[in-house]
Every structure is written in structure tokens, then in C-alpha cells.
Structure 1
Amino acid sequence: MSADPIDAAIGARLRVQRLHLGLTLQDVAAAAGCSYQQLQRYEQGQNRITVSALAGLAGALGVSVTTLIGDDATAAQVHAALMQPGAPEMLAAFSALERADDRALLLRLVDALSRDEPPWPT
């Protein structure tokens, strides 16, 4: 059975926020009062999350419930993009870049690669 798109999108947002903060499944689960296995199932969209669990996880991640719920119109697009191999790790690495110039350079590189163009003048 495949995950419901809304559950999957909420799970993807949970994972992205957790990785952005550099937290482990165990860190967030302990702060939210659930097991790391349950959090992993939420992140993968395998289990439907209750409102009370969502509130606890939002608090543990320092975001609002609304942030985790997101916009229904883009939920499927966000989920599809974040489920690509390496996407959450890329987002975490991007978030870890402190200098705006470094982030701009990475965006330029990824944009050029996505258009199959050389990223630098040859």
C-alpha cells in the first residue's frame, strides 16, 4: 500500500526540518515523546500522524504545526522532490552553508547541471 500524499508530504517536511537542524531520529523522538521507529514511519509516510503527535513533533523541531502541514496544493510536488535519492541530504548540506555566496554558487551549479550545461565558462 502506498502512502497517502498528504501523510507523505508531512513526513517529508518532518525529515527535512530534522536534517536541517542536524538532529537524529532519536533526538527528535525523545523530545516529542515517541519512539524513533514511530518517527521514522511518520517521515516515510507509512503511518498517519495524529494531531497531538504532530504538535509534539512541531514543538521538538521548533516550528509550527502549520509549517509541517504545508500547502495542500504543493504537497505532492514537495513529496516527489524530497523523495528523490539524495534530496534531503542535499537540502541539509545546503542549509549548513553559512555564506550566502556559497549557497548562490551551489544553486548555480545545480541549475546548470539540471539543464545539462557546463556550470563554468569553458
Structure 2
Amino acid sequence: MILNNGKLGMGKKDVARLLGCDYDHSILRTPAKTGKQDLGILVQKQQTAVVYFIGGVTYTEIAALRFLAAQENFPYEILIATTNITNGTRILNEMKPQEPSKLPDADANANAESNSLNPF
């Protein structure tokens, strides 16, 4: 946990731990402003965390990220990107073993081969 403006909040590593992932980042900076400043108004921009799921994400995982972002001291806006949105039923159906495709009967092949003109 870290202190933000005297308030106890979540640090970047705490957020990564809650999400069950490693923390890695890069900082993009904008060029310094020239000329007049914004009339002394201090606007604090919230950083955006991009979470990309390759292979799909469930509605529950999206809900967990939305819950985390709704916390009072959460320091990021979350942008979720994914290759697919799925649900538990689809995941379980994909895990079911598939029946092997049936091969033609050997007797049917023998009769068909004896009647053909193919020498092989």
C-alpha cells in the first residue's frame, strides 16, 4: 500500500497481486507545455491500465476488474481488451471430450475394393 495525498491507497504491485499477475509498465510522457499554463488549475490525470486477455475473458473476470476500479483509492482507469468474451457454459462445453469420428467398416471397404477396377 502507498500513501496518496495523505490517504492510504493501493500501489501498483498491490493491484498486480490482486489481479494475479506480474507488474510491468512503461511510462509515456507528453512534451512540456509552452506558453501559458492552465491558469493555476491543477488537474490530476488518472493513469490507464490496459488489461488484454488473449484467448478470451469471462464475464466474472470483467466484473472483478470493474469492482477493483470502483474502489475509492484505486489509482487507475481500467481499459479491458480481449480476443473473445465467453461464459462458464461455453468453457465447460469446450472441455468436454469429443467423440472420435467413426471409421468406415472394414467389411464395407473390402466389398468396395473388390468391385473397383483400381489395381492398387
TM bucket (normalised to shorter chain) is under 0.3
Answer 1 or 2: which has greater helix percent: 1
> For the pair shown, which has the larger CA radius of gyration, 1 or 2?
2
**Structure with greater proportional strand content:** 2
TM-score w.r.t. the length of structure 1 is 0.22
TM-score by length of 2: 0.22
Higher RCO (C-alpha under 8 Å, 6+ residues apart): 1
